[in-house]
Amino acid sequence: MNTATDAVALAELGRQRRARRKNVLVLLSCVLAAVVVAALSTGAIPLSLLDALRADAERAMQRSVLLDIRSPRVVLAAAVGAALAIAGAALQGLFRNPLADPGLIGVSSGAAVGALSMIVLGGSLVVSATWMPYLVPAAAVAGAVAVTLFLYAFARRYGNFSVTTMLLVGIAINALATVAIGAFEYLSDDTQLRTLVFWMMGSFGRATWPAVLPTLAVILIGVVLLLRSARSLDVLQLGEAEAHYVGIEVDGLKRRIILSAAAAVGAGVAVSGIIVFVGLVVPHLVRLLGGAGHRYVLLGSALLGASLCVAADLVARTAVVPAELPVGLVTSALGAPFFLWLIARVRIP
């Protein structure tokens, strides 16, 4: 390829790029489908999907395992994985920083503190118990939004928000969150404490349809809103001032991205705890496969993030049967070395 001065050659270039991205997305969809089938079929009780769905009395137990236990868990893992990865990709685009991850920069911690405060202190609120399943996610979303807004204000106040500064601020926020969480541990009773500890390491083990469906709804809304901002996120890569020159209402765009990313992360954290590195690793891999355009990166991240979390959960619940590992352990075991590799690779100013 040397010159592309005529319209035909130019169009051809664009066509090639789009074709490649489409292929990657098709591939990622196939991977997700395969991982989901594997996750549904594997577990303490082995079952075959087709058999279990056949309506005869002998299979009732298998069917119930599939529909009431495994399915909500796999759906939750997929939704949370997609949410974390797409939020990671969107925050990286917003902060123009390839190392932004909802876990590392403290957004997940903010959600955790929000959710925990509701779990531990919510009992003293004068609301009926039926509202609690909604209040915890709502508090988590509020916590995630608060941290993201703070990060944004900090970035704005202190000028250029370099890669290093952002990670350092993330360390500080995570440390503060640890303090808050420690205080809640002190305040909580025995049962609260047990859920709290397991939850801090991340797990999809508490998935039931009533818990999963509202989460799914919020995540879906977040994902759709982020996908709709894809082109604006591309333009934002030219710089905030430049995006304004090209006609983007930058403040509105930032608000939209912060709110949708934080809502998706918060809703996920509320039911499955803190899972780090998914939002860091996944968008990076997607960019390596097909380039940096955000429509592609956001979609691809959602697909790959879902696959990754479903697979990690499969490992978490089958590696040490009959016990279960926290899924956060599995994703961190994969993510931390990757993070080191990424730090070595990204030019940190």
Tokens of 23: 């292929």
Phi/psi for 32 (5° steps) reads -60, -45
Taking CB under 8 A as the binding criterion, the range among 130-138, 199-207, 232-240, 269-277 that sits at the site for other proteins is 232-240
Buried b (16+ CB within 10 A) or exposed e, 186-209: eebeeebeeebebbbebbbbbbee
Cβ 105 to other proteins shortest distance, Å: 16
Identify residue 223 by its one-letter amino acid code.
Answer: V
Taking CB under 8 A as the binding criterion, the range among 45-53, 62-70, 235-243, 324-332 that sits at the site for other proteins is 235-243
Q: Is 244 in the site for other proteins (CB under 8 A)?
A: yes
Our CA angle for 27, 32, 37, nearest 5°, is: 130
Identify residue 298 by its one-letter amino acid code.
Answer: L
Q: Is 11 in the site for other proteins (CB under 8 A)?
A: yes
Residues in region 38-97 near other proteins by CB under 8 A: 93, 96-97
Nearer to other proteins, 70 or 287 (CB): 287
Q: Is 19 in the site for other proteins (CB under 8 A)?
A: no
Residues in region 96-135 near other proteins by CB under 8 A: 96-98
Q: Is 22 in the site for other proteins (CB under 8 A)?
A: no
Taking CB under 8 A as the binding criterion, the range among 150-158, 243-251, 256-264, 318-326 that sits at the site for other proteins is 243-251
Q: Is 160 in the site for other proteins (CB under 8 A)?
A: no
Taking CB under 8 A as the binding criterion, the range among 31-39, 118-126, 141-149, 244-252 that sits at the site for other proteins is 244-252
Q: Is 227 in the site for other proteins (CB under 8 A)?
A: no
Q: Is 191 in the site for other proteins (CB under 8 A)?
A: no
Q: Is 3 in the site for other proteins (CB under 8 A)?
A: yes
Q: Is 203 in the site for other proteins (CB under 8 A)?
A: no
Q: Is 299 in the site for other proteins (CB under 8 A)?
A: no
Q: Is 344 in the site for other proteins (CB under 8 A)?
A: no
141 and 259 in contact (C-beta within 8 Å)? no
**Which string of x and - marks every residue 267-296 that binds other proteins (by CB under 8 A)?**
--------------------x---xxx---
Taking CB under 8 A as the binding criterion, the range among 35-43, 242-250, 259-267, 319-327 that sits at the site for other proteins is 242-250
What burial class does residue 97 get, using C-beta atoms within 10 Å of its C-beta: 0-12 exposed, 13-18 middle, 19+ buried? buried
Identify the residue among 22, 54, 231, 255 touching other proteins (CB under 8 A): 231
Identify the residue among 121, 246, 319, 333 touching other proteins (CB under 8 A): 246
Identify the residue among 213, 237, 341, 343 touching other proteins (CB under 8 A): 237
Taking CB under 8 A as the binding criterion, the range among 109-117, 136-144, 229-237, 319-327 that sits at the site for other proteins is 229-237
Taking CB under 8 A as the binding criterion, the range among 63-71, 107-115, 140-148, 234-242 that sits at the site for other proteins is 234-242
Query: What does the alpha-carbon distance between residue 169 and residue 185 come to, in Å, rounded to a whole number?
Result: 24
Cβ 31 to other proteins shortest distance, Å: 23
| Residues contributing to the site for other proteins (CB under 8 A) | 1-7, 9-11, 13-14, 17, 93, 96-98, 231-232, 234-235, 237-239, 241-242, 244-250, 287, 291-293
